[in-house]
Amino acid sequence: MTEEKGYKKKTLIAALVVAAWLCVTIVVLGIFKIHQVWPAMFTLLFFFEKGGDVKNLPNIFVGAVVGLLLAALVPIAVGVIAPTVGVPAGSLIVVFILVFLIIALSDVAHMFFNNYAFAYFTIALIFGKEQLTVQWLIVLLAGGVFFTGGVLVFAKLLGMSTEVDKK
């Protein structure tokens, strides 16, 4: 079967819904003086990347929380061991241990230690000591539920499936 070329009505409607709801989410979070919205936005990205099945949402949200919390531990743990090994070596040791744990524990505690935990951990580390962990957790949970949930509600109201067609 050949795939249609050009724009598809379903894709255009989905793009409109996601773009509009993303803007609404940004405005709502802005009312609360929250401007770093990335934790909420990634929930929908990961949801669709995993096939659009709502059964994956707990893994996405729990893994994201774990990733943010582990990233918040990095500066604390580095501060503890830095007097002995120095900051650069301490940073590498702590990051090594935490990445090892995220990957190694994925077989036995997948809801907590998964690709989402790794992604949020990695992104949070970009900010170094300037992490806004508590704010990010609030944005992830409240904003992520508002954003992803809103898109799911609109999809349902429009009679659209969020699941990717498995051929």
**Cβ atoms of 124 and 71 closer than 8 Å:** yes
Average pLDDT on 142-152 reads: 93
Question: Is pLDDT larger for residue 1 or for residue 132?
Answer: 132
Of the listed ranges 1-5, 7-11, 125-129, the one predicted with least confidence: 1-5
CA dihedral 3, 6, 10, 12 (to 10 degrees): 150
pLDDT in tens, 37-54: 999 999 999 998 988 889
Distance CA 108, CA 42 (A): 25
CA–CA distances in Å: residue 48 to residues 57, 69, 148? 10, 24, 10
When pLDDT is averaged across residues 124-139 and rounded to a whole number, the result is: 92
Ordered by start, the domain boundaries in the chain are 9-157
pLDDT for 145: 95
In the prediction, which pLDDT does 77 show?
97
Q: pLDDT band for position 128 (50/70/90)? A: confident
Report whether 37 contacts 22 (CB < 8 A): no
Q: How far is CA 154 from the centre of its chain?
A: 21
Q: What pLDDT digit, counting tens, does each position of 65-99 carry?
A: 999 999 999 999 999 999 999 999 999 999 999 99
pLDDT digits (tens, 9 = 90+) for 95-114: 999 999 999 999 999 999 99
CB burial string 41-68: b at 16+ within 10 A, e below:
bbbbebbbebebeeebbebbbbbbbbbb
- Band (pLDDT 50/70/90 cuts) for residue 3 is low
